Amino acid sequence: MAENLFLRLGRVNGEDHLEWLLLDEASGIIRLRGEGNRQAFTQISTSVDISGETYVMLRGEDILLTSAKVPSKQPRQILQAVPFIVEESLAQDVEDCHFAIGDRNSAGDVNVAIIDRELLQQRLNLLKELLIQPSIITCDVLQLNALQKNALQKNVGQAEQENSCQVLLEADRALIRYSHDLGFAVPAHSLAMALTLVPQENKAQLHIAMSDPDDEAFALTLTQINAELEQPADITALDYHPFEQLCRHFDTAAVNLLQGQFRVEIKRASRPGSWRSVAILAASVFAVHVLLMLGQGLYFGGKADRLEAEALALYTDVFPNDRNVRDLKRRWRAHLGESNGASGAAFLDLFAGAAKLLPAGSVTLNNVNYNESRGDLVLQLETARSDGLIAYSQTLDKAGYDAVIGTINQGEESVKGSVKIKAGGSAE
C-alpha cells in the first residue's frame, strides 16, 4: 500500500522549519504528522518506510507567481524569453533567479513561478541531507485551487476561476490565490490590505477557508474586506488542519519548480528488504525449475527404460534362439540385412505391419527374407499346428496384405512353414 509524504519547507526564527504528513490517499489514513526542525524530522522518519511519492511545498513568501505574454509555444524558447519579459517585476537580478513555467491562462499568457536560485538550492540540499528525492516542488499558494473545488465544494469552470479569489487562513499566515495561477502569502493580520492588491475583476467571488469561521478576532477584518466587495465573501470551515487540507487535496498539475538545471530523474525508493525478497523469489523460481527438470528427466528416463525392455522382449520373441543381444540395434540390422534407401523403408514398413499381427505365444518367427526387386517378405514360422499358419495368413489378408502360405513341414512336435507377404498387389 503506497503512502505519499508531504512536506512544507520554510524558515522560522532563522532556522529551517518543516511540516510533514505521511498519507495513504486511498484510505485517508495518516501514519505520520508533525512539524519542527530537521533533527525532529530525522528522529521520527528514520523508522518509517516511504513507499510512495514525495511532494514538497515551499512557502508563498519565497516565490513570486506571475504571468508573461510569450507568443512562442516551444518550452525552450519560452524559458529563454520569460526572464527578460518579467525582469521589471523582480527585485533582484535575473541571473540570481530560477524560472519555472506552467500552463497558459485564459488570456493565453504563460504562468511563471520565480524563486531565488540560491534559496532553491538550499532547499534541495536540505532534502538531500534528509535522503529525500521529491517528485514535485511547488508553492503552497498554488494548492488553493484544489481547496476551492474540494473543501469549499465549488464546481467552477475555467472562466469562473479567473473571476474568483481563494484565501486560506492559517494561524499567522494568509494564502491568497487568484486568476488561476497567480497569488501570494502575507501575514494573517494584513489580509484586508493585501486583498486590495488583487484586481477587482478577480474578486467577483471571494472564498475564505479557515478553521474557525466564528472567530471574533476575524470579524473586524471580515468587515473591512466586505466593504471593498460587491458581494460578501463566502466563509467556509475547513474539514482539517490547514496544512493537512493542502496535502489531502494536493494538485500535482501545479507549477513544478524542478525544471531546467534542477530537473531530476525520479528513482523510486525501494522498501528495506525488497532486494532480499527479489533474491528469495528468484531462488525459489530456480529451485522449482530444477525440480521440474529433474522430474522430467526421471519421467523420460523411466519411459526410455520401458521402451528398451519392450524392444528386447519383441526381439526375443521374434528371434528366441539368439542369445547375443548386447547390442540390440546392431543385431536387428544384422537380421534385416542392413536394408537402405527406399527399399529399406518399404521393408521396414512391411515387416513392422506383419510383425504386429503375429499371434503372441502360438507362432514363433525363425527367419526373415526380403527380396528387394519383387518386394516380397518371406517369414519362416514355427507353430504347434498348421492351423496357426493358416490363421495368421488370413489375418494378414484382412489387414490389407497379400499373404501366401509356402511349404509346410510337419515335425514330431511342431509344424514349420513359410508365409510370403506383399503390401498390395498379388503374391508370387
- The model's pLDDT over 21-45, given as tens digits with 9 standing for 90+, comes to 999 888 889 989 999 999 999 888 8
pLDDT of residue 279: 77
| Size of the chain, expressed as the number of residues it contains | 428
The more confident residue out of 417 and 137 is 137
- Rounded to whole angstroms, the Cα distance separating 151 from 46 reads 32
Q: How confident is the model at residue 150 (pLDDT cuts 50, 70, 90)?
A: very low
Looking at residue 342, its pLDDT comes to: 57
Domain boundaries defined on the chain: 4-272, 275-318, 328-422
State the cell numbers at 162: 479567473
Residue 334 pLDDT exceeds 80:
no
pLDDT at 326 over 70: no
Angstrom distance (rounded) from CA 58 to CA 19:
10
Amino acid at residue number 390: I
Burial call 375-387: b when 16+ CB within 10 Å, e when fewer: bbbbbbbbbeeee
- Maximum average pLDDT range among 113-127, 214-228, 276-290, 338-352: 113-127
Mean pLDDT along residues 352-360: 83
Percent above pLDDT 90 for the chain: 35
DSSP string, 149-202: HHTS-----HHHHHTEEEEEE-SSEEEEEETTTEEEEEEGGGHHHHHTTS-GGG
For the cut 70, the answer to whether the pLDDT of residue 425 exceeds it is no
Q: Do domains 4-272 and 328-422 have the same CATH topology?
A: no
Q: Does domain 328-422 correspond to CATH entry 3.30.1360.100?
A: yes
Q: Can you tell me the mean pLDDT for 5-26?
A: 91
pLDDT of residue 146: 58
In DSSP terms, 57 is beta-bridged to: 8, 138
Q: Is the per-residue pLDDT at 315 higher than 80?
A: no
d(CA 344, CA 375): 10
Is the model's pLDDT at 270 over the cut of 50? no
Q: Which pLDDT score is estimated for 423?
A: 73
- What pTM does this model have? 0.60
Instruction: Give me the pLDDT at residue 148, please.
Output: 54
Q: What pLDDT score does 159 carry?
A: 55
User: Which tens digit of pLDDT belongs to each residue from 58-112?
Assistant: 999 999 999 999 888 888 888 888 998 998 888 889 999 999 999 888 888 999 9
Bridge partner residues of 139 (DSSP): 58
- 393, pLDDT greater than 60: yes
State the average pLDDT over residues 385-404: 86
Is the predicted pLDDT of residue 293 greater than 90, yes or no? no
Residue 428, pLDDT score: 40
pLDDT of residue 243: 95
CATH of domain 4-272: 3.30.420.380
Mean pLDDT over residues 178-183, rounded? 85
pLDDT, average across residues 135-154: 73
Average model confidence (pLDDT) for the chain? 84
Predicted local distance difference test score (pLDDT) of residue 336 = 60
Residue 140 has pLDDT above 50, yes or no: yes
Order of all β-strands in the sheet with 402-410: 363-371, 376-383, 415-422, 402-410
